[in-house]
């Protein structure tokens, strides 16, 4: 296969220019790919050699689509007059394809640096879903910097093409019949390096050589090769801490497990449900959120509360469904709303649903609110800053309450966007200084500037607190506090480099999964729960207030927070590829697909590394088995 390709690429001056261009581009891509590597990867000879081979071979693989398409375009050019002009069109295509390769690598590197994962299903969903890109909240400065970098990459490829063309026209090289190097040798070198790094990874996996295993996570689309069966036969590896793979069965949903038995209350309670983007647990203080703090002193306050995810999509999903976040996928496919929303509709509730982003990203219009009247769903995205959109939505929420039919109960939902990066607030909400004026994702030094960045976040949380006060005061002024359940949650948390990450969606530590949780129920005495609680407990708490007599296990994987015997040993959180056990003593990550298998972490209950992962997994075996059962409990054919 290499000889015909090499002969073609050495056939003419223009073909040799094509070859020069791709060799030069491969070197540039290799430099780009090398930036993914960590300094720890060159501290020992084995890992450094593996890194060199992987960087070179994966640079070639990343460039291979552009090479194949470019070669096909050249082969398709007809001979004869006009070919030179058509070759310029091919040149523009080559520059675009190779520039796009650099752009994708750049985007992946930035995502990995900020969030700890590569471009994956989550990122693609973000880009392809209406409102997804806007939900990132990038500042104008970030957008302009990114555009400048992308243009520079395309300019670099254009310069490489012009250099290759000039080199071929150089009189000293014009008569060269034999190139200084041949394509066949380059292809052979790529094959040897690819096979070498494959075998090295397989041996590392079998012998648990962690430097190479951890280094492999830094390369986008890395395909691990393992010798599991061979290693076991040779007595290598570690079966004691075996990886548990978990997945949600999607053959057919069995949700709920039994029809609901309902005795509708004589005086149904209204529900006001407030959710703040990225609001983590330690924002609930008298200094940062004084109004929510005062409300919590009259309510049920949950002090060790966990979201069902480290991302918005599954975080909000879990608080409405009471199910593991991985059930998002079958529920989305089936367009199945939560039992809670079904029952509210059946009992004739009026709905006012508000968000300062969109209902289409994440696709809550196809899951939680799939059967809602579109006229009840009000989204404000784009235009004014997030803090202004939040205020406008609270204005509209108050108007909804005022014009409702007072003879029927109502349910209103509000999603605050102010606390999403880049953290939006008006100057009169600034209580933490100094704060970064313009959070530019591409130029910020997160290790150095994290204090001013976090101060932006604190100020945004303080602004949200003011909007919560407006809602509570409106209810009080209309004599509705004694007939309304108030729920205040974060969809998930936000990390500020406490564990070397910024943002959310990368880990399951307390900063990324812990949120405030305040639930005020009329007639319930104020109480504080200091043990573990979860978003999954919300439906099991609300549905009994609606007169549902079924045990929570029929429709949820949570418990009733108002029950006198409530106790939770652990919480469960999920992302696209993993599910996590979050307990008082250990936090353990389990894969739900092949991508999740690349990163399985074990820490103690305070997120510190654990030396003996095998012992930790053995200690929670009953819980792991329970999680496995729950992953298929709402499938009719779960085995």
pLDDT at 5 over 70: no
pLDDT band at 213 (very low <50, low <70, confident <90, very high): confident
Query: What is the reported pLDDT for 188?
Result: 84
- 203, 220, 59: which is closest to 212 by C-alpha? 203
Measured CA to CA, the distance from residue 362 to residue 313 in angstroms comes to 5
The answer to whether 541 and 548 are in contact (CB under 8 A) is no
Q: Tell me if the domain spanning 270-436+462-630 has CATH number 3.40.720.10.
A: yes
The answer to whether 348 and 265 are in contact (CB under 8 A) is no
The answer to whether 268 and 484 are in contact (CB under 8 A) is no
Measured CA to CA, the distance from residue 330 to residue 318 in angstroms comes to 14
pLDDT at 103 over 50: yes
Lowest mean pLDDT among 156-160, 385-389, 630-634: 630-634
CA angle 289, 290, 294 (to 5 degrees): 120
Q: How many CB atoms lie within 10 A of CB 43?
A: 10
pLDDT in tens, 37-64: 877 677 788 888 999 999 999 999 999 9
CB under 8 A, 24+ apart: contacts of 147-156: 149/106, 149/442, 150/99, 150/103, 150/106, 153/99, 153/102, 153/103, 153/106, 154/95, 154/96, 154/99, 154/102, 154/103, 156/28, 156/99, 156/102
- 75, 125, 134: which is closest to 383 by C-alpha? 134
pLDDT in tens, 414-430: 999 999 999 999 999 99
pLDDT at 9 over 60: no
Please spell the DSSP secondary structure of 289-320, one letter per residue.
Answer: -HHHHHHHTTSEEEEEEE-SBSSHHHHHHHHH
What 3-state DSSP class applies to 286?
A: coil
Please, is 185 exposed, middle or buried when counting C-beta atoms within 10 Å of its C-beta (0-12, 13-18, 19+)? exposed
> Cβ neighbours of residue 275 under 8 Å, at least 6 residues apart?
316, 319, 413, 414, 415, 416, 488, 489, 490, 491
Measured CA to CA, the distance from residue 385 to residue 380 in angstroms comes to 10
List the alpha helices (DSSP H) in 77-182.
83-115, 121-128, 140-169, 171-174
Query: What is the reported pLDDT for 110?
Result: 81
Half-sphere exposure of 196 (CA within 13 A, CB side): 19
Query: What is the reported pLDDT for 628?
Result: 82
pLDDT band at 36 (very low <50, low <70, confident <90, very high): confident
pLDDT at 230 over 70: no
The pair of structure tokens assigned to 111 is 């995502």
* Overall average pLDDT of the 561-588 stretch: 95
Mean of pLDDT over the chain: 86
The H or E element containing residue 529 is strand 527-534
pLDDT in tens, 264-279: 999 999 999 999 999 9
The answer to whether 258 and 550 are in contact (CB under 8 A) is yes
- 577, 419, 608: which is closest to 506 by C-alpha? 577
Q: Can you give the length of the chain in residues?
A: 639
Dihedral angle over CA of 624, 630, 632, 633, nearest 10? 150
Q: What is the Cα gyration radius of the chain?
A: 28
The pair of structure tokens assigned to 534 is 């979860």
> Cβ neighbours of residue 569 under 8 Å, at least 6 residues apart?
532, 583, 584, 623
Query: What is the reported pLDDT for 140?
Result: 77
The answer to whether 597 and 568 are in contact (CB under 8 A) is no
Measured CA to CA, the distance from residue 131 to residue 361 in angstroms comes to 6
Query: What is the reported pLDDT for 16?
Result: 74
Domain edges within the chain:
2-233, 270-436+462-630
Query: What is the reported pLDDT for 223?
Result: 82
- 568, 530, 563, 533: which is closest to 545 by C-alpha? 563
Question: Is the Cα torsion angle 105, 109, 111, 115 positive or negative in sign?
Answer: positive
Please spell the DSSP secondary structure of 49-106, one letter per residue.
Answer: HHHHHHHHHHHHHHHHHHHHHHHHHHHHSPPSTTHHHHHHHHHHHHHHHHHHHHHHHH
């Amino acid at each position: 296969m290499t000889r015909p390709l090499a002969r073609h690429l050495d056939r003419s001056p223009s073909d040799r220019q094509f070859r020069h261009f791709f060799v030069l581009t491969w070197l540039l891509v290799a430099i780009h790919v090398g930036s993914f590597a960590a300094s720890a990867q060159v501290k020992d000879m084995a890992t450094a050699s593996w890194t060199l081979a992987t960087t070179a071979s994966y640079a070639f693989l990343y460039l291979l689509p552009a090479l194949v398409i470019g070669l096909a375009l050249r082969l398709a050019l007809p001979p004869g007059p006009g070919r030179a002009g058509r070759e310029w069109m091919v040149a523009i295509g080559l520059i675009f394809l190779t520039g796009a390769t650099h752009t994708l690598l750049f985007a992946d590197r930035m995502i990995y640096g900020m969030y700890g994962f590569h471009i994956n299903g989550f990122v693609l969903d973000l880009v392809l879903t209406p409102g997804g890109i806007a939900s990132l909240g990038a500042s104008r400065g970030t957008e302009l910097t990114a555009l400048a970098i992308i243009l520079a990459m395309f300019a670099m490829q254009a310069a490489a093409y012009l250099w290759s063309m000039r080199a071929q026209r150089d009189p000293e090289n014009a008569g060269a019949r034999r190139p200084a190097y041949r394509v066949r040798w380059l292809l052979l070198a790529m094959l040897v390096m690819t096979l070498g790094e494959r075998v090295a990874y397989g041996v590392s996996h079998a012998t648990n050589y962690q430097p190479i295993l951890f280094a492999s996570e830094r390369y986008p689309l890395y395909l691990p090769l393992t010798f599991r069966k061979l290693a076991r036969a040779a007595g290598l590896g570690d079966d004691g801490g075996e990886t548990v793979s978990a997945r949600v069965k999607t053959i057919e949903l069995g949700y709920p497990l039994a029809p609901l038995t309902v005795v509708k209350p004589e005086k149904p309670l209204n529900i006001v449900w407030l959710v703040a983007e990225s609001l983590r647990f330690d924002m609930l203080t008298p200094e940062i959120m004084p109004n929510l703090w005062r409300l919590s002193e009259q309510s049920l306050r949950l002090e060790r509360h966990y979201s069902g995810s480290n991302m918005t999509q599954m975080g909000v999903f879990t608080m409405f469904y009471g199910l593991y976040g991985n059930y998002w996928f079958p529920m989305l496919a089936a367009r199945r709303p939560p039992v809670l929303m079904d029952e509210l509709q059946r009992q004739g509730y009026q709905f006012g649903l508000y968000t300062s982003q969109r209902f289409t990203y994440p696709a809550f219009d196809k899951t939680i609110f799939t059967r809602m009247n579109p006229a009840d769903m009000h989204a404000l995205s784009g235009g004014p800053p997030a803090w202004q959109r939040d205020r406008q939505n609270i204005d509209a929420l108050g108007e909804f309450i005022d014009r409702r039919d007072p003879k029927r109960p109502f349910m209103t939902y509000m999603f605050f966007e102010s606390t999403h990066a880049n953290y939006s607030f008006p100057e009169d909400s600034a209580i933490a200084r100094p704060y970064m004026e313009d959070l530019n994702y591409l130029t910020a030094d997160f290790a150095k500037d994290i204090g001013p960045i976090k101060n932006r976040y604190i100020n945004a949380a303080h602004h949200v607190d003011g909007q919560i006060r407006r809602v509570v005061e409106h209810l009080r002024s209309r004599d509705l506090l004694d007939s309304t359940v108030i729920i205040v949650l974060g969809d998930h948390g936000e990390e500020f480099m406490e564990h070397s990450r910024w943002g959310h969606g990368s880990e399951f530590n307390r900063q990324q999964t812990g949120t405030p949780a305040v639930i005020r129920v009329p007639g319930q005495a104020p109480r504080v729960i200091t043990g573990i609680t979860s978003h999954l407990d919300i439906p099991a708490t609300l549905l009994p207030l609606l007169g549902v007599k079924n045990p929570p296990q029929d429709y949820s994987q949570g418990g009733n927070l108002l029950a006198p015997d409530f106790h939770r040993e652990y919480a469960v959180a999920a992302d696209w590829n993993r599910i996590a056990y979050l307990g008082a003593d250990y936090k353990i990550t389990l894969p739900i697909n092949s991508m999740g298998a690349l990163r399985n972490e074990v820490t103690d209950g305070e997120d510190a590394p654990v030396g003996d992962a095998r012992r930790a997994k053995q200690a929670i075996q009953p819980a792991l088995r329970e999680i496995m059962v729950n992953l298929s409990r709402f499938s009719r054919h779960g085995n």
